[in-house]
Chain A
């Protein structure tokens, strides 16, 4: 019979193996990234997949977030007599925080889970082994291409999401006061510095990498048949979202230090 102690130590053991496997999986990415062959066409295919899968949802969510956020902020700003600050406030909030975060969460749900499920099912039906025995490096062909695609595409989607969010915000502003779209965007960007956009892009790159690599890791290590495929997809989403929040906190902190100097 297993005592409490052994159950506990098996748990720790499993956790540490998982961490070390994950670490190897991630470092392998950087080792293989610069080695030929480069499957450029497959990367482009995957970028297309990532974009296509999430574009509609990101457009809709970004738009709604823009409208709702503006609507909610207006009364408190008006209370201070600062309604004219609305566009710059919204600009900062959307470009720096909401755009990247909303995009990352949507992509973790849509892209992360589908990568986890796809690689998971390839794993449990031995398709990954089949690639390996036909002298194709499955890590390079499946993992490197997908992670590259999410890392490239998600920052672009995040900027797009911010843009759509501001558009939603403009519609709301416009319904209250007659501003032109151009002056709205000018106002919104007045207080945004290059560092803000730069850190938003860096943040999205980190999010994109996380979503891709977690989806691949969970899929690539799926076991136990079809049940494992579902588990891989599920865990990919949960872990990716958790890490996205964690990274958000860390990156905001680091960016603040930079601003200080």
Chain B
């Protein structure tokens, strides 16, 4: 996390802008009028309880799920109006870290990282690929795991490799889906540090989906609470912590006690 002075020095340029977004599955209304903005260089944590539609929201951002209504503008492009080729060009600029890591389990770590690179950038030499893979592994601190299979890695290591796999295309935006879920507090802390380090060294703007208050506190410049399909309030951790809103208070108190 940057300190406050660093934070306010950033030019106020919007990289993600969502307005009036609705999404239902059959009778289940998941998102009911989302307005959301991510500024360049900023980390926003989206807090919300399980099943509130957090994953649906970031899947809409990369065009994995089509919205029913509303406008989703990422890096000045309206996602649901793009041709498949334009969508792919946009996707190369976005890193998506899956809740389940989603490593290709029939490929080893090296191949997992090299795959998106070789499929997207033509004419790379073997040495270029090796260098890029090593650089990305270095960034997540797992250079020694290069020849391991995903099934031989721990949960935290898999998360890191998943993040390294997205870093290899040098994304401008990082979307993290529950980066610390299912991890012990120490490993969670390491992932939080990694998220902050990625923000600094790759100059990314990030959306961090989480239900983990510690993660939100340590990685974000701003917090948005997803309550009943909407963002009623956004603010810094301190502002949210001191909020008078009953639902927000309940969320924070419950998390801190347990």
> Provided the pairs A125-B100, A126-B100, A129-B64 are in contact, do residues A134 and B169 lie with their beta carbons within 8 angstroms?
yes
- In B38-97, the 8 Å CB interface with A consists of 59, 62, 64, 84, 88-89, 91-92, 94, 96
Interface size class of A (residues with CB under 8 A): 10 to 19
Bound: A156/B102 CA distance, A: 36
**How far does the Cβ of A123 sit from chain B's closest Cβ, in whole Å?**
11
CB distance from B189 to the nearest CB of A (A): 25
- Please indicate the chain A residues that have their CB under 8 angstroms from the CB of B98 in the complex: 126, 129-130
Within the complex, the shortest CB–CB distance from A89 to chain B, in Å, comes to: 46
- Chain B residues with CB under 8 Å of A121's CB are 105
Cβ contacts under 8 Å, B104 to chain A: 122, 127, 130
Question: A133-151 interface mask toward B, CB cutoff 8 Å, 1 = contact, 0 = none?
Answer: 1111100010000000000
Whether B119 is near chain A, meaning CB under 8 Å from some CB there, is yes
Q: Is the CB of A130 within 8 A of B96?
A: yes
Closest to B168 in A: A134
Contact A133 B64 (CB under 8 A): yes
Task: Establish whether residues A125 and B102, one from each chain, have CB atoms under 8 Å apart when the complex forms.
Answer: yes
> What is the CB-to-nearest-CB distance from A62 to chain B, in angstroms, rounded to a whole number?
30
When distances are taken between beta carbons in the complex, the residues of chain B under 8 Å from A132 are 64, 91
A134 is contacted by which of B99, B106, B166 (Cβ under 8 Å)? B166
Query: From B84, which residue of chain A is reached at the shortest CB distance?
Result: A137
**Which residues of chain A have C-beta atoms less than 8 A from B120's C-beta?**
134-136
> Is the Cβ of B102 less than 8 Å from the Cβ of A136?
no
A134 to B113 alpha-carbon distance, docked (Å): 11
Chain B nearest Cβ from A226, distance in angstroms: 12
Report the Cα distance A136→B119, complex, angstroms: 7
Q: Is B235 an interface residue (CB 8 A)?
A: no
Cα(A132)–Cα(B94), bound, Å: 12
Interface centre among A121, A127, A129, A134 (most CB of B within 10 A): A134
22 contacts between A and B (CB under 8 A): A121-B105, A125-B100, A126-B98, A126-B99, A126-B102, A127-B102, A127-B103, A130-B96, A130-B98, A130-B104, A132-B64, A132-B91, A133-B62, A133-B64, A133-B91, A133-B94, A134-B115, A134-B165, A135-B89, A135-B91, A135-B120, A136-B120
Contacts from B to A (Cβ < 8 Å): 59, 62, 64, 84, 88-89, 91-92, 94, 96, 98-100, 102-106, 115-116, 119-120, 165-166, 169
